[in-house]
Structure 1
């Protein structure tokens, strides 16, 4: 640990510590922890230095769809090599490489000597072949790999590791193609999806329903009602000049009409859904068609502002629906349970409640929920989940939250290590939203929303 602390000090003297601002609380988080440091590099690259089981793991991510810069990776590796050479002098430092989405344990790493000898290795975690050059390419300045990869690294002390994960195989394993008619239909639906702006910030996705309303996730509205998280809700905030809806592709583009909301609205806590009335319904985009009955679709498409790389509105097509009894769920639960000890330990070190691990995938199997895999993340809450059948588009659900719940309590340095195959998204089924609204409001309002 003493050597790792020296490494952290050396990194601090060379690179800027990563900082993240919480604009809602007016606070700034400095990403230096016990056993971990996060540093900002040039050109939107972030360096993670992590110590676990006497292994220093180092990886670099680039905050975009582009691959990490080979030049930056080589420069960081050279600095680390120089540091460990000075520390250990005559002792040889071992380098290991691993798949970044695999577990952090040492047995998931591959010695550099093996990668030089073999053209590929077998990843036990993903049960998939990994080309050796795709694991090592960005970390060396020769021509063995041109850096055309999609992720990053781990490297270290007396045992060290680094990882680069290659792109998907040339042949896709699934069909996410869109017909011309589907593209045209979805393009029209996108015009009816907007973003809720509060105090100059996009806080969630909304979509048009009825003659003058929008629907979204309830927790999105709670951000407005209780901005300071004091536990006291103020509905008048919905009518303030700081709150409005923007239907433009970019939330940064000023709207021709800033659509305002009325303070009275209906909501359902269990479904995490809210319906709000627009007070100035002039030139609204068309309303979306809501499905009242159950759907037997195997996939949905999402429209919202939850793309992790850009704040703009996006279509996330053909997201596979995950059934409660599927192997996908069972596998995710089993893997989370296998690593529960690690997450408990790490949460405890950071002063967080280890019991968060026990929440797991709670509620995924409730009949009112629809579970699926999608690319959207923070900002996508409230997005409509749509199906396309017989030239018709219908909303069958509303995106409300992700699973497992523990992921959203993890610090950023642990989130980037959390395997994507353990993550799922959850929505409220429109069938249940219809039943709730039908039992809660007059028949003419139900007809306006659903017919």
Structure 2
């Protein structure tokens, strides 16, 4: 963490303006995948960690292909009374010692209210060497579903010979013409297989083929179970599936899958995806933002609200512009966990795990849906706090399967 501090005097209080840079180190490991370290304090610290990892995993240091560093500005929002004693004034940091108890209370409540999940995101769990070793093993249990050489989505191992993903991952395979009539035998074709390599660009030594077992295309309960039909001793072990009800705590989850915007064909571990606890507030804020008028100082968009602006781009890409109006609608609450993650196309079906390695849910969609139909340059400027990802809780998957096939439910969940 690199801090630069600027001091100034105001209303007799000593104020500090602190600019915080948060290092984000991205590591690709051969035969494992990619790991996103967000809590390493320096490049030197990263080198030490890399060396210890290589020693522990018994792999050469050359296995770390490359390291990318990003510096993200992160602001702590705090406040004080203005010179007249009315209202609140924003600052990036402040000397608490000179504040009265009342003023400290104002600062604390404002940080909690306004910084919220963004501030909490700065304090992600540190991964120990043992954690990384364990998650490297978990990553081997996640694969890519490939059809005719194209990445269709992420799958993960469960039970002895089963895989879990979402229905939307297999939908284009079993109903290629989008007629509404699914032919599940199409998924058994030789050109459909699972690749467990760290990159889908690497041709696997053995192609695991699959058949359909059970699924549902209900929007609020989107899952699929597949079975390996040509098993051998190289098949990765199954992950532990958590059927217990999800509690209300907001500890981050760990996502494993393909479709990271920077390395879409690499298997990636996002090592702390913050849970959005106040999803209703988030959605209302997004809807309000979508209906606001664009910047009047920009001639190209003056007078247009954001909804009209995005509709024009979606239509230019050949899609129905009306999907913009549905961007934040029909979002289920009870069956889902909402998070912020850095995965896009190809990530559907990714497992999201707790810190002890239990799969809590499966990624089924990202919001707003029209985001994925925008030109890349427009997506690059889309505010991060106006997007979020939806995780289907496995407790509901277990309940649905148990009612239809108790034997399969027991094989998957134990």
TM class by shorter-chain length? 0.5 to 0.7
Native 8 Å contact 2:311 2:322 kept in 1: no
* Runs of 5+ consecutive residues of structure 2 not aligned to the other structure: 1-66, 71-89, 93-119, 294-303
- The match for 2:334 is 367
* Runs of 5+ consecutive residues of structure 1 not aligned to the other structure: 1-63, 68-126, 130-170
- The match for 1:400 is 364
1:8-43 deviations in Å (ceiling 9; x for gaps): xxxxxxxxxxxxxxxxxxxxxxxxxxxxxxxxxxxx
Matched residue of 1:447: which SS? Answer: helix
Q: Compute the displacement of 1:399 (Å).
A: 0.3
Partners of 1:362 and 1:421 in 2: CA distance:
17
Alignment partner for residue 228 of structure 2, among 255, 272, 278?
278
- The match for 1:287 is 238
- The match for 2:214 is 266
Over 3 Å counting, the alpha-carbon distance change for 1:376 and 1:325 in structure 2 is closer
Partners of 1:346 and 1:182 in 2: CA distance:
42
1:234-293 deviations in Å (ceiling 9; x for gaps): 32221111100011111121222210012x421122211100111012121110111111
With structure 1 as the length reference, what TM-score do the two structures score?
0.58
Is it true that 1:448 corresponds to 2:411 in the alignment? yes
Is it true that 1:246 corresponds to 2:195 in the alignment? yes
Over 3 Å counting, the alpha-carbon distance change for 1:365 and 1:337 in structure 2 is farther
Higher relative contact order by CA 8 Å / sep ≥ 6: 1 or 2? 2
Partners of 2:284 and 2:310 in 1: CA distance:
24
Alignment partner for residue 394 of structure 2, among 427, 430, 435?
430
Is it true that 1:411 corresponds to 2:359 in the alignment? no
1:352-384 deviations in Å (ceiling 9; x for gaps): 545323313224342001110001111110000
Over 3 Å counting, the alpha-carbon distance change for 1:260 and 1:294 in structure 2 is same
Over 3 Å counting, the alpha-carbon distance change for 1:346 and 1:317 in structure 2 is closer
1:301-338 deviations in Å (ceiling 9; x for gaps): 00001111221101011100112456544433332232
Alignment partner for residue 255 of structure 1, among 197, 200, 204?
204
Matched residue of 2:240: which SS? Answer: coil
Q: Compute the displacement of 1:411 (Å).
A: 3.5
Over 3 Å counting, the alpha-carbon distance change for 1:177 and 1:208 in structure 2 is same
- The match for 1:103 is none
Over 3 Å counting, the alpha-carbon distance change for 1:448 and 1:211 in structure 2 is same
Over 3 Å counting, the alpha-carbon distance change for 1:354 and 1:247 in structure 2 is closer
Is it true that 1:376 corresponds to 2:340 in the alignment? no
Is it true that 1:342 corresponds to 2:306 in the alignment? yes
Matched residue of 2:363: which SS? Answer: strand
Partners of 1:409 and 1:253 in 2: CA distance:
28
Native 8 Å contact 1:345 1:354 kept in 2: no
Q: How many residues align?
A: 283
- The match for 2:272 is 318
Matched residue of 1:274: which SS? Answer: strand
- Aligned CA RMSD, in angstroms, stands at 2.6
